[in-house]
Amino acid sequence: MWMTKVSINHPVFATMVMVGLMVLGLFSYQKLGVEKMPNVEIPALFISVQYPGASPEAIETDLTKPIEEAINTVNGVKRIMSSAYEGRSNTYIQFNLNVNMDRVVQDVRDKVGAIRPAFPKNAKEPFISRLDGENAQPIISFGITSASRSLRDLSTLTEQIIVKRLQGVPGVGKVDIGGTVARQVLVQLNPAQMMALNVGVDEVVAAIQTNNQDMPAGLITSGGNDKLVRIVGKLKDPRSFGKIIVARRFGNPV
């Protein structure tokens, strides 16, 4: 209460003190440093797991739910959001602002690594990335269109020429492309014939994988020279897939 008594008994003194504080505040405000682009650390992680050929229901049961249950035990978790797509599971984890992100990232990797053996056999390795608030957004985005070129030609032009030239520009850290078309061979199965010959889809898949790969065969030493030997087994013509022997029934190839 002494400040109140002094202000009442000495109003001029109290006014000068207030004016002095205001002048000091204005002077300090002008000298206050402001960073235009501060390094903001977003307390969040992103987990993606590829499971080719799986339906969203299988993705949710086999990948998404086990990941959510494992991550939920990490200290500092604020929110978990997941999406199950065809062949892919995405999980976004948001943490409290006071957590140590270095420790949290390691904890998440340990939790996911512990449940990794229980994933389906064909599931890919989990991709865990830390959201970077400073470098997460692209600087430049543009599209490529053509009235005379096909989408396949545009994809080849983008991957082989445009992306490589952009990567050579000083200061470019990463170039991401989307919407491209990759060459692929579509194998259509005949369910009626497969049932008649008692051939399963797994046998067809295994036969294609076995007959469509290049394999190392060691090396040959001649004098002082060593030469690597490689068996070239990848099929060059799509029609060659129709000649693959997928099984043998009653001594006859199928």
Encode pLDDT of 5-24 as tens digits: 877 888 888 888 889 999 99
Query: Does position 134 have pLDDT exceeding 60, yes or no?
Result: no
Helix (H) or strand (E) holding 229: strand 225-231
**What integer pLDDT is reported at residue 81 of this predicted model?**
93
Q: Tell me which of 72-81, 196-205, 209-218 is least confident.
A: 209-218
* Mean per-residue pLDDT over the chain, rounded: 86
Residues 152 and 126 in one domain: no
7 vs 164: which has the higher pLDDT = 164
Last residue of a domain, one of 89, 104, 130: 130
| Secondary structure letter of residue 123 according to DSSP | P
| pLDDT grade for 70, boundaries at 50, 70 and 90 | very high
In a domain, 36, yes or no: no
Residues 74 and 126 in one domain: yes
Give the number of other CB atoms < 10 A from CB of residue 118.
11
**What integer pLDDT is reported at residue 137 of this predicted model?**
59
Residues 70 and 118 in one domain: yes
Residues 165 and 228 in one domain: no
Q: How far apart are CA 10 and CA 239, in angstroms?
A: 102
Give the number of other CB atoms < 10 A from CB of residue 159.
13
- Percent share of the chain, pLDDT over 70: 95
In a domain, 186, yes or no: no
In a domain, 26, yes or no: no
Number of domains in the chain: 3
| pLDDT grade for 209, boundaries at 50, 70 and 90 | confident
Query: Does position 136 have pLDDT exceeding 60, yes or no?
Result: no
In a domain, 99, yes or no: yes
- Percent share of the chain, pLDDT over 90: 28
In a domain, 29, yes or no: no
Residues 164 and 207 in one domain: no
Q: How far apart are CA 33 and CA 160, in angstroms?
A: 46
Residues 157 and 108 in one domain: no
Query: Does position 236 have pLDDT exceeding 70, yes or no?
Result: yes
200 vs 133: which has the higher pLDDT = 200
Answer positive or negative: Cα dihedral of 102, 108, 112, 113: positive
Range(s) of the domain holding residue 203:
191-253
214 vs 100: which has the higher pLDDT = 100
Mean pLDDT over 35-61 rounds to 84
